[in-house]
Amino acid sequence: MPKIKSIHHVAVVVEDMEKSLAFWRDALGMELHELRDVPAEKSQVAFLPLDGAEVELVMPTTDDSGIAKYLAKRGAGMHHICLQVDDIVGMLSQLKQKNIRLINEEPRKADDGKQYAFIHPESTGGVLVELYQI
């Protein structure tokens, strides 16, 4: 049976990366591990690690990306929580069997090899949930 291993990250949608980093990095003192463009998602992501997890700041780089549409509709703020799993295919299968609405029926693959999939907020009490397998 597939299992949740940990909270991997919490993602926050931001309008202005430098302004957001002024809070998270400069005011709170969190280390900026990496600032990366993610062309496949039309976004820029800042990775700020904590003990066993990280905060990800996500900013759209185009007006037509999913993140840009989210930002226009809901504004800046928490976007999703990501849970690391030991078997993403098994977890998606288990969720389908329980009639959980999935955004991704099959895992997608990130540039770094991680597999990920999203669960629709309709099935989670309003929270967008991402599953990660490293």
Residue 32 tokens read as 């900026």
For the chain, the domain total comes to 1
The confidence score (pLDDT) of residue 120 equals 96
d(C-alpha 23, C-alpha 102), whole Å: 33
Structural domain boundaries enclosing 91:
4-133
Statement: residue 14 has pLDDT above 90: yes
Q: Are strands 53-60 and 43-50 parallel, antiparallel or unpaired?
A: antiparallel
Q: What is the pTM of this model?
A: 0.90
Average pLDDT, the chain: 96
Are 110 and 93 in contact, with CB atoms under 8 Å apart?
A: no
Domain of 119, CATH number, reads: 3.10.180.10
**Average pLDDT for 63-91:** 96
| Phi, psi of 52, deg, nearest 5 | 85, 0
3-state SS assignment for residue 77: strand
Statement: residue 112 has pLDDT above 90: no
